[in-house]
Structure 1
């Protein structure tokens, strides 16, 4: 059978005030074109369809149309919720999804059978997917309890809970003539972040070892990390990555989807298909004079200005580089907090004096900025 694995669409993303709806429309159109060309038996969307738990009607319309178009290619479609998605809101779309022939699982349900999806390809090959949406720490404990497994101990970790839940979902991975698949939205120890993920859900207690996945799985389709990559483990494990760079930290990532060809008796063959539809993200550095001389690269820009901070500097940069979305003073020019400065005493001092101390600690002596602060303070006071 052939599988198209994609994830982390983040539809509705606004990058420093810039809507990316047009880019998402182009990127998802290319994903659909790839599905038409490749004719997969199964499309897996491994979470983070949206960038926010409260997507706009426009974002919802774009996602539902994309999923419908993927289904119309003839492929079965299995979708799970990610940490950016509102699992309950996705589950509210299940009547629509069921009518469209799409399997949608936004959050973990009490019945584990809800998360085990069976299917048959056009050629009669049987497959089964254990589909696990994103689980927070709290709901991981609840899921373990719901499934009547060993009671959670106080010293058990998030990884323990995830391992138990996945083990329960994969109990049926025993038939030798069926392709066994897992899809989940989580962080695996040792994998590389893409640069734009939500930190709280990628580090510390949220990282799990690859050993939580069953060794008899033919392929594990992961979402959450935005860089396409293979993960070493007891079975073939892979992040498809986001089909477009979500933030400037991901500017080196190459958007793609993953194509997997596998049978019940042969190892998975995996390849990436690029998705070049998004506007590139670029970073430039220099003084104002240097920025005035460069040929601006194509795409949205992050600019590190090698000038001392002053009022109006941002506007001067934007006049030179209209596609600059993020403008910062070059970190090399910003003093490290605490380096050669003492923390100012706050008691009994005016806001203006405290702000002046702050500016001094940051190497910022522009009197115009102090005057702007005075105007703002006076406006707030009155």
Structure 2
């Protein structure tokens, strides 16, 4: 059986205020073609289908179109909900979907698999939707469920009990933070990285393959335990992480092969560092004019209208991060002490500018203008 493992579509997420629906539609169209080209039997989507619990209508349209196109390839589809999804909304129409599309959002069903057959017999797909401990306690009142680890361990116990009865090969689909993932892989903020919410890999012992979601960069935690990551870049911290999915082959004995399938990046992401003037004039940045740009400005003081000016050169400049360098050393004097030491109005103004500009006083041109204003000269007199 051939399985395509994807996750974290986050339909409806914006990128620094820019909509991503069209870009995601194009990427998922490529994914659908890969499913057809590689004759995939089952597409697994491991949670965070939507980015919001209340998606806009256009998000539902995109999901409907993609699921229809994937189904048209002949592949079965197994979908679970993530922490961004509203499980009830995502699963509401599950019973009415066409044959071959299985949406698993009810934690109470985790011990009952979707069983699909190939020439070697059944493969059991156990979907584990995102488990909020405070919510699932009512489902299993006798279990201690205060953490993600406890919730996943409990549900995997149910899976293992069912596997022992059914036999055969199995795949688990789960949305959680598993031990061994580096923070740089794009960890979502909603599930903490502290020890209470990290799930040990030992919890996933048994099944032939564990398809995980929640981390936005691909990650191989063990040969049979992997994150596919998101199909789009949703933050600049993910810029160096490839986008794609895992192509998983099961033979009669279990896991046989895992291959990475690359997805296209609609618009590359780049972080540029320097003063505003350097970013606006350095020819080395010409190659990034069409990229999403994060501008790290090293000017010692804030510059006027930096985003407007940057977008004149980089139309897709999305965000600015100030990182001032070469500031004047702090002499330890309070502003009051500085004022008391001034001997003229121009010097007083320069002292104020030094304060608000965090160490940089008036420029030479500004000093000339200040002197003219203090002297009472009009603009016409200065121009003459």
**Normalised-by-shorter TM-score class:** 0.7 to 0.9
Q: 2:296 is matched with which residue?
A: 304
Q: 1:215-239 deviations in whole A, cap 9, x for unaligned?
A: 321000000001111113xx71111
* Closer/same/farther in 2, CA of residues 284 and 129 from structure 1, 3 Å limit: same
Q: 1:209 is matched with which residue?
A: 200
* Closer/same/farther in 2, CA of residues 90 and 176 from structure 1, 3 Å limit: closer
Q: Tell me if 1:326 matches 2:319.
A: yes
Q: Partners in 2 of 1:82 and 1:280 — Cα distance?
A: 27
Q: 1:79 is matched with which residue?
A: 79
Deviation at 1:324, TM superposition (A): 0.2
Deviation at 1:261, TM superposition (A): 0.6
Deviation at 1:320, TM superposition (A): 2.7
Deviation at 1:117, TM superposition (A): 1.4
Q: Is the 8 A contact 1:181 1:220 kept in 2?
A: yes
Give the TM-score of the pair, scaled to structure 1: 0.80
* Closer/same/farther in 2, CA of residues 193 and 23 from structure 1, 3 Å limit: farther
SS at match of 1:318: helix
SS at match of 1:188: coil
Q: Structure 1: 5+ residue runs without aligned partners?
A: 343-355, 367-382
Q: 1:228-285 deviations in whole A, cap 9, x for unaligned?
A: 11113xx711111112211111000100110011124143311100001431111111
Q: Tell me if 1:126 matches 2:90.
A: no
Paired residues in the alignment total 342
Deviation at 1:75, TM superposition (A): 1.3
Computed over aligned residues only, the root mean square deviation of the Cα atoms, in angstroms, reads: 3.2
SS at match of 2:144: coil
SS at match of 1:22: helix
Q: Partners in 1 of 2:65 and 2:361 — Cα distance?
A: 53
Q: Partners in 1 of 2:77 and 2:327 — Cα distance?
A: 49
Q: 1:152 is matched with which residue?
A: 144
* Closer/same/farther in 2, CA of residues 296 and 17 from structure 1, 3 Å limit: farther
Q: 2:114 is matched with which residue?
A: 117
Q: Partners in 1 of 2:114 and 2:181 — Cα distance?
A: 27
Deviation at 1:22, TM superposition (A): 1.6
Deviation at 1:74, TM superposition (A): 1.2
Is the radius of gyration larger for structure 1 or structure 2? 2
- Which of 285, 305, 308 aligns to 2:273? It is 285
Q: Partners in 2 of 1:183 and 1:192 — Cα distance?
A: 20
Q: Partners in 2 of 1:324 and 1:341 — Cα distance?
A: 39
* Closer/same/farther in 2, CA of residues 173 and 197 from structure 1, 3 Å limit: same
Q: Partners in 2 of 1:190 and 1:277 — Cα distance?
A: 26
Give the TM-score of the pair, scaled to structure 2: 0.80
Q: Partners in 1 of 2:122 and 2:114 — Cα distance?
A: 11
Q: Is the 8 A contact 1:3 1:44 kept in 2?
A: yes
Q: 2:16 is matched with which residue?
A: 16
* Closer/same/farther in 2, CA of residues 332 and 32 from structure 1, 3 Å limit: farther
Deviation at 1:164, TM superposition (A): 0.9
Q: Is the 8 A contact 2:120 2:251 kept in 1?
A: no
Deviation at 1:299, TM superposition (A): 1.9
* Closer/same/farther in 2, CA of residues 288 and 111 from structure 1, 3 Å limit: closer
Q: 1:162 is matched with which residue?
A: 152
Q: Partners in 1 of 2:131 and 2:5 — Cα distance?
A: 20
